[in-house]
A and B are shown apart, each in its own frame.
Chain A
Amino acid sequence: EAGVVQSPRYKIIEKKQPVAFWCNPISGHNTLYWYLQNLGQGPELLIRYENEEAVDDSQLPKDRFSAERLKGVDSTLKIQPAELGDSAVYLCASSLGADSPLHFGNGTRLTVT
C-alpha cells in the first residue's frame, strides 16, 4: 500500500511569510494527525482529525496556525505569519482509527529565516 505522502519535503521562507503543508494519508485511514518535531526530540501533537472533524486541536497555536481536512481525506496545515521559532519538521500521520497504530509520512522540514 502507498504510505502517507507529504509535500513539500523542504521549505525555506522568511519570517512573517505564510506557508502551507499538504498531507495525503493512507487510503481508508479515518484518523489524521499533524505533529511538530524539533531536532532530536519527540513529536508533539498539533491536531488530530477523525474524518473531517478536528477532535483534538488543544495544542494548535490558533493565532497563526490553521488546518483543514475537507472531505475527510487530504489535509493542509498553514502558518501565517511564520516566526523564527516555527522552524521544525512537520509530520503527518494517519491510522485506521483513533487507537490503531500510526503511519507517518517523511515530514516537511521548515526553515524560517
Chain B
Amino acid sequence: TQLLEQSPQFLSIQEGENLTVYCNSSSVFSSLQWYRQEPGEGPVLLVTVVTGGEVKKLKRLTFQFGDARKDSSLHITAAQPGDTGLYLCAGRTGTASKLTFGTGTRLQVTL
C-alpha cells in the first residue's frame, strides 16, 4: 500500500508569514494533486502536476513536483486568514488510476 506522508501535520502562523508543506512517498507517481478542504466541505482541487521538476503558481501558492516524482511541496507566500484549511496531497500511479490521499496538513492563519 502506497503511503503519502505530509509534514507538518499542523501549522499555526500569523498573517503575512510564509510557509511550506511537504508531501513525501517512496512510490513514483504519474501525477500529483493538491486539494484544500474547509470545515464541513469536501476537498477542492488546487492544482495537478505531472512532470518531474514541474513548478506551478496559483497566486500566492507555489507547487513543485520532485524530479523523481516521489515528492511535492506547497509554498504559500504572505499567508492570509482565508488560507486556513486542511491541505491534502494526492498521488496517482501509472494505469491504476487510484488516487491515494496524503495524511493532511492543517493550516491555521491568524490575524
Q: Given the complex, which residues of A lie within 8 Å of B48, measured CB to CB?
A: 101
Knowing A41-B103, A42-B88, A42-B102 are in contact, say whether A105-B42 is a contact too (CB < 8 A): yes
- B42 contacts A91, CB within 8 Å? yes
Knowing A42-B103, A42-B104, A99-B92 are in contact, say whether A93-B42 is a contact too (CB < 8 A): yes
Knowing A93-B42, A107-B42 are in contact, say whether A44-B101 is a contact too (CB < 8 A): yes
- A40 contacts B42, CB within 8 Å? no
Minimum CB distance partner of A56 in chain B: B98
- A106 contacts B43, CB within 8 Å? no
Nearest CB in chain B: distance from A25 CB, A: 12
Residue B45 interfacial (CB < 8 Å): yes
Q: Which of A90-110 contact B (CB under 8 A)?
A: 91, 93, 98-99, 101-107
Q: Given the complex, which residues of A lie within 8 Å of B97, measured CB to CB?
A: 98-99
